[in-house]
Amino acid sequence: MNTEVIFIVTESLDGGYEAKALGHSIYTQCDGYEELAETLKDAVLCHFDKGCMPSVIRMHFVKDEVIAV
């Protein structure tokens, strides 16, 4: 049983956030940071059965920046 599920969170090109779980086929998106945690909880609840539910959701934020030299 997994005790946690890790999401890679990136800013969407259209605004908001996109999140993809590592090792699971879970993908979700939301409009703002304020709703991100609740959106991830809903996605995890829909994906796992009660006996296999992870106890922790970890968000890893990735920001891609380009610096001209």
pLDDT at residue 1 tops 70: no
Under the banding of pLDDT at 50, 70 and 90, the label for residue 43 is very high
Ordered alpha helix ranges (H), 2-66: 36-47
In our burial notation (b when 16+ CB lie closer than 10 A, e otherwise), range 19-37 reads bebeebebebbbeeeeebe
pLDDT at residue 62 tops 70: yes
Of 51 and 35, more confident: 35
Secondary structure class of 8 (helix, strand, coil): strand
The predicted-structure confidence for 3-27, as pLDDT tens digits, reads as follows 899 999 999 988 999 999 999 999 9
Pick from 17, 26, 19, 21: nearest CA to 6: 21
Residues in a beta bridge with 54: none
